[in-house]
Amino acid sequence: MKTSKLSIRLLWYITPLVILPLLFLGGFTLTNVTNSTQKQAELIVSRFVEQQQQKMFNYIDSFHSTSKLLSTSPVLSDFLADDMLSNGNYTSQLGDLMDVFASYSEAYPDIISVNLVSPNGKSKAYYSSNLNTPPTDYPFFSRVLQSNLRQQQFMVQKNDGTTSLYFIQRVYSADYYLKRPQQLGFIILHVEPSILNTSILEAPYNNTLNLLLTEDGKILFSSDYNKRGQFISEYELKQIHNLADLGKLSTIELSSIDKIERMIYAVQMSGGYYYVSTIPKALLYQSGKAISLITALIVIISVITLPMLIFIVVRNLLLNPIESLGAASHRVGDGDLSVYLPAHNNDEVGVLFNDFNHMVNQIRHYQDELEEYKHHLEDKVESRTRALETMNSQLESAIAQAEQANQLKSRFLANMSHEIRTPLTAIMGFTEQLLHSKEASSDELHLATILRNSKHLLELINNILDLSKIEAEKLAVEKEPLDIVQLVHDIDSIIRPLSQEKNLKCEINYHLPLPKIINSDTTRLKQILINIASNAVKFTEQGLIKLDITYEPNSQLIEFAIKDSGIGMSEHEVERVFKPFEQADATTTRRFGGTGLGLCISKNLAQLLGGDVYVQSTPGMGSCFNVKIACNLPEESQPPMLTELSQLKPEKDTLLSFASNSFDANILVAEDNPDNQVLITLLLQTWGLDPDIANNGAEAVEMALVNDYQVIIMDMQMPVMGGLEATQMLRHAAYDGPIIALTANVMKHDIDTYLKAGCNEALAKPIDKDALENVLVKYLHIEKDSQNKWDSLLNSEKFQQINENYRSKLPEHLAQVNELYQAGEWEVLRALAHNLKGSAGCFGFSNIHHAAAELEDNLRGRDTDHNRRDYLALSLIEAIKYTINHDALSKKQSHSH
């Protein structure tokens, strides 16, 4: 075969470009493999040692935290107080303290014993998991007395080579009025170091020797058990100290242990201890030598064979196809369109061959089409003209639809503007009257008007949001048991008073038999029926409103037929009645009001519930709306049916009826605010519940582990330990009772955080009586009381007293806010704002509640505009001043009358 010039040039280029880099790479690899091996070993060992150091630090720190938490236990404080006063409760308090020590020993299995020692070293209370007697003395106790540290740790090695950990925590008196707290003794935890033993035995390489040394060179822990208790020389200890400061892998021979030259990495731990990991140097570099030999062999083979292989591969894959493609291109240039390149591999050359064949086919195809266009040009022009006419017709139709949609939007905006402005005008007007009026005689009427218009505005916004969810297919419906009689009773209790106001007759007809229970969405079905029934009342001036309930067993649909004797609708109006934003005509909107959303939403909801809404109407004779809903009855069993008239009275829920006004249950309330403590206690006492109070999370954990509570109400932000941390600790300690989060932070991500931490429910501040009652019913089956019981509570002398006490504290709160704002103590001011947000809302001071909430959000970082914090702080100050002045003015007016 003839060798082309391109092949020769390619060979000249390939040979030096391949051989020279290979020679350079081989030499570089041979000279640097030892250094790379050492760096890799240093990286592996340093990471290993840092991980072990962090693991030991976390282990030791956890027991420091445990000893600190134990030293602040209320039970321990009570025991020491009773012991000092000698009032006869010593035996009872000692038993409670032993229970606390036992709970900590169960939570942390590594704890061998817990000892409460007096300042002179005498054991006052001792608990041991293996029932040992308290030690008479500790070898390190003299060092404890000489040190001023609150927390200390010691490692003590026994004669058998094992080492124990001791954690010492000073205990002080709880009298915070003393300038210097009184020291009452020490808490000494004796711990079996399981994690330290495990960490020492772990190794990144074989034959690795791990050591834990004291500051005087004694080996406390060793992966070689025989070396425990030995000492290394002072010179070797100094070298290890220098290596710990440098933080790098270095070569040292530890003659005190063996004569092997080792690579050593050391770190210094708290308390003067050293963690050392050593690897025999010969073992470390053994793999590097093997890599060097293999690398040299690979380089030699590559220098000989690689250029030849590259040339052969390039020749077959590239040069030969290029020559074939050049020859074919030359033939096409001569006008030969019968050229066809053979199929090639599925690579770039194959794609090039296919593209060349496709190009030749397209040339032939275009030549044929050109001939065809010459004969059929007039036909194609006529066809294109007809297509353009069709497109223009479609465009005109689209323009007409767009204009109609624009008119519909304008009509909807005008209607919404009227509907929104009407209740807003009443709300703003009567609110202004309440603010400027000095007489309270008409306050109740004004407030009722504001409430009525606010509900109307809320209903309007809910309708718009429901329609948006329906159109976006984001509205979900539930399937839950629904009592038909109770449902109709609820509808009747709403519609009958509306009918009586217009002197209309209201009838309800049950066509038996009917299923007693169906499975559907109670809220959405009520929304449909109330909407249609209220429309029947609105569009009826005289006559009756009738509701017929029928069951279709074949299709398992239940039908609600709502008939009225009102104005009725024509066929054209019936076609438009279920469209959004439309009513029968413009005069209907002006005469009766409304947005035109209700029936559209009702029809869509009925379809989501497995049914539909139909209407039959005659102008001047009235309308009949038929609502059909799927019953979703179970197929495997016969559902209970309503067959007698005596069954058509709604049953009273036994769980919601009062058998008595008290309930025997233990409840723990964790709340740091004294006013909120009194308020929550007063609320619970209305149901016959007398709760226990914890002032912070630490107390709540202690009390929950000692006592048996059916429900824990936990404030999320408290001093010493927050509610979130306390909840997590209780769940880790196997407390499985319900925990109710009480918080002023009601954002979704906050609620999700509380539930994830282990809370069962979340209640918002200010406290909602109905929400609290529902939670108690859910977890304690407490019977609901009537609304009069709640009203009597708010009007009771005790509630008025705590409300008055809170009012009296407002000047003090005002001074604190002013002082913190002037001093720039933003973190303390944030905590005070959170406290005010919850307490002010509970006692009805909404202006202080909202101002404190906005300031807290800004200082917490949720509001990114930091320039607003001065404005928000001044707003809170003004809100408190306004409440104080308004309260003083009200008292002055009451005295004048």
Mean pLDDT of 407-435: 60
pLDDT band at 630 (very low <50, low <70, confident <90, very high): very high
Are 484 and 437 in contact by the 8 Å Cβ rule? The answer is no
Question: Is 502's pLDDT higher than 90?
Answer: no
Better-predicted residue by pLDDT, 674 or 428: 674
Spatial separation of the C-alpha atoms in residues 226 and 231, rounded to whole Å: 12
Cα–Cα distance for residue pair 770/762, rounded to 1 Å:
13
Q: Are strands 209-213 and 274-280 parallel, antiparallel or unpaired?
A: antiparallel
What is residue 782's three-state secondary structure?
coil
3-state secondary structure of 712: strand
Helix axes 826-842, 810-823, angle to 10 degrees: 160
Cis upstream peptide for 181 (omega within 30°)? no
| pLDDT for residue 515 | 92
* pLDDT 10s digits, 733-780: 888 889 999 887 767 778 888 999 999 988 887 777 777 888 888 787
Give the separation between CA 656 and CA 389, rounded to whole angstroms. Answer: 72
Residue of 516 and 309 predicted with greater confidence: 516
Best mean pLDDT range from 424-433, 567-576, 792-801? 567-576
Query: Residue 227 carries which DSSP code?
Result: G
Would you place residue 266 in the very low, low, confident or very high pLDDT band (cuts 50, 70, 90)?
Answer: confident
The strand ranges marked E within 606-660 are: 612-618, 622-630, 641-642
Q: Chain-centre distance of CA 646, in angstroms?
A: 49
pLDDT digits (tens, 9 = 90+) for 719-741: 888 999 999 999 888 888 899 99
3-state secondary structure of 400: helix
Question: Tokens 């409670």 appear where?
Answer: 96
| 419 vs 423: CA distance, rounded Å | 7
C-alpha dihedral sign at 365, 367, 368, 370: positive
Q: d(Cα 819, Cα 250) in Å, to the nearest integer?
A: 58
The residues near 75 (Cβ < 8 Å, ≥ 6 apart) are 93, 96, 97, 99, 100, 702, 706
pLDDT in tens, 798-837: 666 777 777 788 888 888 888 888 888 888 888 888 888 7
pLDDT in tens, 433-443: 566 655 545 56
Q: What is the DSSP letter of 176?
A: T
Q: pLDDT band for 784, please (50, 70, 90 cuts).
A: very low
Beta bridge partners of 250: 264
Residue 84 has pLDDT above 60, yes or no: no
What does the pLDDT read at residue 624? 95
H/E element, 393: helix 348-436
pLDDT at 693: 93
pLDDT for the residue 150: 85
CA-atom Rg of the chain in angstroms: 43
The pLDDT tens digits for 8-43 are 676 677 777 777 777 777 777 767 766 777 677 667
pLDDT band at 141 (very low <50, low <70, confident <90, very high): confident
Which residue's structure tokens are 């019936």? 574
Query: What DSSP string runs through 874-894?
Result: HHHHHHHHHHHHHHHHHHHHH
One DSSP character per residue, 788-854 reads HHHHHHHTSHHHHHHHHHHHHTHHHHHHHHHHHHHHT-HHHHHHHHHHHHHHHHHTT-HHHHHHHHH
Q: Residue 476: pLDDT band by 50, 70, 90 thresholds?
A: low
Highest mean pLDDT among 368-372, 482-486, 521-525, 571-575: 482-486
pLDDT in tens, 442-459: 566 566 556 555 655 665
Give me the pLDDT at residue 821, please: 84
- Please report, for the chain, how many H helices and E strands are present, in that order: 26, 24
Contact 532, 547 (CB under 8 A): no
CA 672 to each of CA 192, 616, 718, 835: distance values in angstroms, whole numbers, following the listed order? 37, 63, 6, 9
- 550-575 tens-digit pLDDT: 999 888 899 999 999 988 888 888 88
Contact by Cβ (8 Å): 683, 767:
yes
What pLDDT score was predicted for residue 590? 44
Average pLDDT of 66-75? 87
> 123 CB contacts (<8 Å, ≥6 apart)?
115, 116, 117, 134, 135
- Measured distance CA(766)–CA(743) in Å, rounded: 9
The pair of three-digit structure tokens given for residue 838, joined into one six-digit string: 């919850």
Lowest pLDDT segment from 119-128, 381-390, 650-659: 650-659
Q: Is 501 exposed, middle or buried (0-12, 13-18, 19+ CB in 10 A)?
A: exposed
| Confidence (pLDDT) at 655 | 41
Reply yes or no on whether the pLDDT at 236 is more than 70: yes
Tokens found for residue 896: 């004048």
Residue 791 has pLDDT above 60, yes or no: no
- For the record, the structure tokens of 647 come out as 């069954």
Question: Are the C-beta atoms of 529 and 562 separated by less than 8 Å?
Answer: yes
Residue located via tokens 């808490």: 187
Given pLDDT bands bounded at 50, 70 and 90, which one contains residue 242?
Answer: confident
Position 788 pLDDT exceeds 70: no
Rounded CA separation 703/692 (Å): 9
pLDDT of residue 739: 94
pLDDT at residue 30, as a whole number = 67
Token output for 864:
């990114």
CA 214 to chain centre: 46
Res 830: pLDDT: 85
Return mean pLDDT, the chain. 78
Tokens of 891: 């008292």
Q: How far apart are CA 155 and CA 219, in angstroms?
A: 11
First to last CA, the chain: 125
pLDDT of residue 5: 67
CB 775 within 8 A of CB 740: yes
In whole angstroms, give the CA distance from residue 681 to residue 692.
Answer: 9
Question: Cis peptide before 497, with omega less than 30 degrees from 0?
Answer: no
Cα dihedral 526/532/537/541 (nearest 10): -170
Q: How much is the pLDDT for 263?
A: 78
Distance CA 413, CA 469 (A): 19
CA distances from residue 196 to 58, 168, 221, 625 in whole angstroms, order as listed: 11, 19, 8, 78
| pLDDT surpassing 50 at residue 785 | no
Report the range of poorest mean pLDDT among 349-353, 470-474, 624-628, 844-848.
470-474
In sequence order, what are the residues at sequence separation of 6 or more whose Cβ sits closer than 8 angstroms to the Cβ of residue 461?
none
pLDDT score recorded for residue 549? 94
**Residues 299, 305, 308, CA angle at the centre, nearest 5°?**
140
- Give the pLDDT band (50/70/90) at residue 341: confident
Instruction: State the average pLDDT over residues 365-380.
Output: 72
Residue 493 near residue 506, CB atoms below 8 Å: no
Task: Say whether 173 sits in a helix, a strand or coil.
Answer: coil
Q: Between 312 and 593, whose confidence is greater?
A: 312
